[in-house]
Amino acid sequence: MKPLLDLRHLQLIQAIIETGRITDAAEKLGVTPSALSHRLKEAERRLDVPLFTRMHKRLRLTPAAEYLAVVAERILHDLSRAEEDVRRMNAGILHVVRLSVEAYSNYRWLPAFIKFMKARTDGIDLQIMAGARSDPLTGVLNRNIDIAVVSGEVAQPGLTTLPLFEDPLLYIMSPTHRLAGRSFVEGQDIEGEQFITYTKVPEPDREFALLFRPTDSYPKWAATVELPEAIVELVASDLGTSVLSSWALQSALAEERIVGANVTEQGISVPWCAVLRNEDVDEEDPIHQVATLLAEWCALPDGGLHIC
């Protein structure tokens, strides 16, 4: 059975959602407003259902359009990714492995790892999917990414983990902060401090459970900022303190824009691992090859995410 809608209709729906107006959507797609209006009426005629209603000179989605918008986004994304894969294949790349790192967007380690990988494999390219970092495990399960580098324990059906490294959490502050110079901080040290975090969801192996709760000492929640790199800049400007993974802080620490202290005298180390789908655990699978090479590289004295 031939589909009622084609790619042009999906692009139309997405463009109208992004712009809210026929004229703006037409400009985005490079067609005239009258041609776009005709295309919209054609889509509604084929489906026998309205897709948009007018409200204050703007177009508002109907439930049918909302559903199609989700499908359109997925299809157009997959098509764009497929086109990119084909171009890479034409350049001698046979496999593209998509990787994302949980929460962090520090990729100073990437060039060194790519050199390490290319010296040991042929025809595999690495694509960083930064947009999946907020929920990388779902991205792996949904096949939007192939490898997720995440912290903590992972016990989820359908997923396999390869250990990468252990990394300490650091309590970070500006060089002029009253706690600067401490080798470690305890709960009572940070009570009442302005605290910036990228998530307020307590995790069993982090500062909430191992620093705040045992001493019943809590900072003041100054802000929730999803980008750890933005948190570093706020901390460097003495607008608050935070707890982040050591490996992602090395540049800022080396530049002395921030200083760090261990979280508790014993310290809190968090395991990091590479997560991939069970079905990709095969020595010949390029996804498994990349994950294995990443684990090997992290174990080197002069390599690894933990020293970047």
pLDDT in tens, 266-295: 998 889 999 999 999 888 899 999 999 999
What is the pLDDT at residue 28?
A: 86
Q: Which of 47-61, 85-99, 234-248, 277-291 has the lowest mean pLDDT?
A: 85-99
> In the predicted model, is pLDDT for residue 200 greater than 80?
no
pTM of the model: 0.68
> Tell me, what's the pLDDT at 201?
65
Would you say the CATH fold of 166-270 matches that of 7-85?
no
Q: What is the mean pLDDT of the chain?
A: 85
For residue 138, count other CB atoms closer than 10 A to its CB. 13
Q: What does the pLDDT look like over 97-136, one tens digit per residue? A: 999 998 887 788 899 999 999 999 988 989 888 777 778 8
Structure confidence at residue 297 (pLDDT): 94
Q: If we measure between CA atoms, which residue out of 117, 129, 111 comes closest to residue 93?
A: 117
Q: What is the mean pLDDT of residues 50-56?
A: 82
Task: Specify the CATH superfamily of domain 95-164+273-307.
Answer: Periplasmic binding protein-like II (3.40.190.10)
pLDDT band at 89 (very low <50, low <70, confident <90, very high): low
Integer Cα distance of 223 and 48 in angstroms: 48
Which residues, 6 or more positions from 118, have their beta carbon under 8 angstroms from its beta carbon? none
Please state which CATH class domain 166-270 belongs to: alpha beta
Boundaries of every domain in the chain: 7-85, 95-164+273-307, 166-270
CA 179 to chain centroid, in Å, comes to 31
Estimate to the nearest angstrom the gap between the alpha carbon of 268 and the chain centroid. Answer: 24
pLDDT of residue 234: 94
pLDDT of residue 158: 93
> Average pLDDT, stretch 189-208?
78
According to CATH, what is the number of the domain 7-85?
Answer: 1.10.10.10
List the single range of 49-58, 115-124, 139-148, 239-248 with lowest mean pLDDT: 49-58
